[in-house]
Amino acid sequence: MSYRNNTFLDFFDLSVNKLFNIIYHWSIQCSQTDIQEILKVSRPTINKVFQNLRKVCIKQLNKENIVLGGNGVVVEIDESLFVRVKHNKGKDLKRDQVWVFGLYERDTTRCLFFVVVKRDAVNLLNLIYKYVAPNSIIHSDCWASYNRIKRLDKNYVHRTVNHDLYFVDPVTRCHTNSIESIWCSAKMHLKKMRGVKRCYLQSYLDEYTWRHNKNLTRYGAFEAVLSSISNIYQPGKNLKEEKDKVDDLLDDLDAMEINDQEFEFGDDDKERVPLEDGNIDELNPLVEQVVDPLVDPVVDPLVEPVVDPLVELIYEVNPLSKLDLLSFEETIDLIIKQIEEGLYLEYRFSSDLNKAQRKIIYEKCDLKNINYSKSGTRYVIVTIGINKVKNDTEILKNAKELIAKELKSLSQVECPRDENVDKILIENDESVKRGKRGRPKKNLKFNFS
């Protein structure tokens, strides 16, 4: 059993040294291009390690069990647009905007991010109701979706600041500068990577949240991620199962009643009698003499030569490319028949076949409904099999899709729905005063006299 089995190392075909080097460079936030030049590792391999490390961060973050705020604790909330159209022009205007809702606890500097479809009251109020503790003080801007926060049954104290007039409210001293600073830091983290795909945005935000909530520096994330890996992928879990299996097997052997006298020796399994005690020199005739290949052996005419039966089994095997077309067709028919009988799943031919021989393989496979694939340009390698034969590119693509699907399922959390929030949303909204945004108009007086 390898030490890599049932561990984080089992995901990669890399040496331990290179894998730990990639993890270290990920922890200090090096780009994939730099890691590729430093460690001489392919870009897809580095990307696979990065994706698995983000999975570790998401599992260790455990966002579902995080609650911010508390009695008298200030929680700043805000929403931000992460996909902005430059100069409000171009084809990106037709793409959907990506809004992110953020929460920031001022005392502990912890934060949470959620990618939302719309920044309406249905999504934002449900997220606030689930992830903000009762009796918290909530600071926000004057976005209309926040007007019903006071009516929730968790005794929230809601204070707002009008950013069109000032950054800090002069009366209540309410501000959202901390969450605005977090927005800047998170966006700079993504800009260093020249942007990310929309489907992976939540996973990258969760990785940033894991780093920020643990207050990790560039040189503190390495020990933290190794500790997280050891907590999630524990090799000792399966070792206990294997030990139990061995103990059960030993108990079964002990329970069996075995009598050595019941076993009889056959003709081929004769009982060997040990040698009697005596002089060791008597064993010299039994020792085989070393024959020098450069010296001709002395042949005794009175002694019959001993013929090794294995010599008769040695014969030369011609490769398929050296066969004539008739023999080649018969061989291909035999290989396809064995595949159909289930002797093996697929058969890969060598790259020395010519075009005529490869054409025979394609025609035979089409007649028998056998899948085949070819790879290479100068030296073509043909593979046939019952199941769909996948080349290395398809296998790598499927592996990427599997990791991407798992990342999406881990990072994307369904927006919660609570009955109390739904009641407030259905109620009449006449009691909520809607203030006008923008600066008050100045009283300008013009004298035309």
Q: How would you class 56 by CB atoms within 10 Å of its CB: exposed for 0-12, middle for 13-18, buried for 19 or more?
A: buried
pLDDT score of 14: 85
pTM reported for the whole predicted model: 0.61
Rounding to the nearest 10 degrees, give the CA dihedral for residues 124, 126, 132, 133: 150
pLDDT score of 39: 92
Sign of CA dihedral 381, 382, 386, 389: positive
The answer to whether the beta carbons of residues 109 and 409 sit under 8 Å apart is no
What is the chain's Cα-based Rg?
Answer: 37
Length of the chain as a residue count: 449
The answer to whether the beta carbons of residues 143 and 435 sit under 8 Å apart is no
Sign of CA dihedral 55, 56, 61, 62: positive
Sign of CA dihedral 357, 375, 347, 349: positive
Q: How would you class 124 by CB atoms within 10 Å of its CB: exposed for 0-12, middle for 13-18, buried for 19 or more?
A: buried
pLDDT score of 261: 41
Which structural domains are found in the chain, ordered by start?
A: 1-61+218-236 (no CATH), 64-86+95-214 (3.30.420.10), 326-392 (3.30.1370.50)
pLDDT score of 3: 66
Q: How would you class 73 by CB atoms within 10 Å of its CB: exposed for 0-12, middle for 13-18, buried for 19 or more?
A: middle
pLDDT score of 246: 47
pLDDT score of 292: 52
Q: What are phi and psi of 75, to 5 degrees?
A: -125, 120
Parts of the chain with a pLDDT under 70: 1-3, 5-6, 84-86, 92, 235-317, 387-401, 408, 411-414, 428-449
Which residue has 């979706």 as its token pair?
Answer: 145
pLDDT score of 239: 41
Q: pLDDT tens-digit profile of 197-236?
A: 888 899 999 999 999 999 887 778 999 999 999 888 876 5
User: Within 10 A of 157 (CB to CB), how many other CB atoms are there?
Assistant: 13
Integer Cα distance of 347 and 365 in angstroms: 12
DSSP assignment letter at 239: H
Integer Cα distance of 21 and 36 in angstroms: 11
pLDDT score of 316: 65
